Each structure stands twice: as structure tokens, then as C-alpha cells.
Amino acid sequence: MVGWFDTPNGPTLAELVRQGLSSIEGGYDRLSSKFDQSVFRTPDPVLDGLESQLFRCGRALDIGCGTGAVLQRLQNYADELVGVDLSRSMLARARAQLGPGPTLLRGDFLKMYWQEHFDLITSVGVLGHIAPADQDEFFRRVFSALRPGGWFLTVTGDLRRRPWVYLPALAFDSLMRVRNFVWRPTFVMYYLSFVLPRARNVLERHGFVCQVLDGRFPVPFSQLKLLLARRPLT
């Protein structure tokens, strides 16, 4: 598992340990200069699958935009584009790569509020950073921020009958829970907190109509699914 995190030009194991002992904000500030060379950047095949479901719209929001990989794809579809992230350094990288077009906001989405403002909201590779106790509030805010008929798009895993993926993820999540019990500040990063079928159940509980699309990603990403959640018109 250690080898999986070892990428050319990416962060070293020591740098990842220092990140993991920081807060989420501080950790990504530390990682920002090497983030796009790390395994944590959303891979291009996954972005391609996500882009296959994007549509022309007025306003779009990417939650946890990082260095701007998803925003870069959204630029071709949205007239107005907003990205939100906790890390100042990650946003600086996004600005350098995307130019002046998108509005980039530093802050916690759980402390922000929009009312029926966006046609499309995306959040990819971020929902494991939302503590399970905060998921209900997170999706209440997503639902409120969407216009009636608007869409929330994300990518999540279906690890049922995939023990070779589930067991390493369980080991990592367990390690992070122990870390957060004994160390402050906490660093929430739980791979199993938002996977199917729970992910769909959470969204439907908050009024979304959901669709799961299969077969969109090549190996080694075939366990991933596109989760599309629509706010009903009424």
C-alpha cells in the first residue's frame, strides 16, 4: 500500500505523513506544490467519465476544487463558474492554471449558503473529507444551493464483492480514526464514508432523485461509479 502512494515527482512518504498529522487545510497547503503529481489528483480517465455527463448550464459550482482539475473541464460548459476549497495554496495553483475566469472562494462549504443558485454542482475526491456526522448538513446545503431541476454529480465507489479494494480502504480508515482519536488537529479522510449503497441512500434521504452509471471507467478505476443526483422541479 505504501508503494501505491509513491509517484514520480510526487510527495514522499515523509511528506505525506506530515500532511496526515496536519489539519485538512494545513495538510493540503503542504501538499499543493506536488498535488498534481500525486495519486490524490483525480485521474484523467475519471475526469473523462465525469465530463461525459456534463451539460451546458448557466452556473456551476465545484466543492473542494483543489488545483482545478474538475473546474478545467467545467469551463467548457458553464457561463459562470465557482470553486470552493479550504486551502489557500491549492486555490493559488488553481488560479495559476485556470486564469481569471472562475470565482475561487476559500472556505468551508458547510459554512456557506446559496439558495437555488446553481444549475450544476460537482464534488470529486472530496466527500471522504466530510465527517459522517456532517453529511446530512452537507447535502442539505447542496440541495438548497441547486435550482429546481439542477444536478449534483460525483464519483464514488461500489466495493461490494471487491475485498481486494475494501480491505485496504478499511485498514486506512481505521488508522485515520485512531489518529483522530489521539491527535489534534483532526484530519478527516475516510474512504468508506461515502460509497454505494450508502451514498445513494444519503442523497435520496435529502430529496434527490438518483441514478448510478456503471461501466464508465477503465481498469484500475472500474470499481468507480458516476452518481447523478437531481433536485426535482417541485
Give the whole-angstrom CA distance, residue 109 versus residue 72: 20
**Residue 207 — left, alpha, or beta (φ > 0 → left; ψ -120 to 50 → alpha)?**
left
* CATH number of the domain located at residue range(s) 48-230 in this protein: 3.40.50.150
Q: To which residue does cell 475526469 refer? A: 47
210-to-18, 146, 196, 213 alpha-carbon distances in Å: 38, 15, 12, 10
Q: What are phi and psi of 23, to 5 degrees?
A: -75, 170
Paired residues of 224 in beta bridges: 157
Paired residues of 120 in beta bridges: 60, 151
The DSSP code for 11 is -
**Residue 193 — left, alpha, or beta (φ > 0 → left; ψ -120 to 50 → alpha)?**
alpha
This prediction's pTM: 0.93
Give the whole-angstrom CA distance, residue 112 versus residue 120: 16
Residue-by-residue pLDDT tens, the chain, 234 positions: 444 455 677 788 888 888 888 999 999 999 899 989 888 889 999 999 999 999 999 999 999 999 999 999 999 999 999 999 999 999 999 999 999 999 999 999 999 999 999 999 999 999 999 999 999 999 999 999 999 999 999 999 988 888 888 999 999 999 999 999 999 999 999 999 999 999 999 999 999 999 999 877 888 888 899 999 999 998
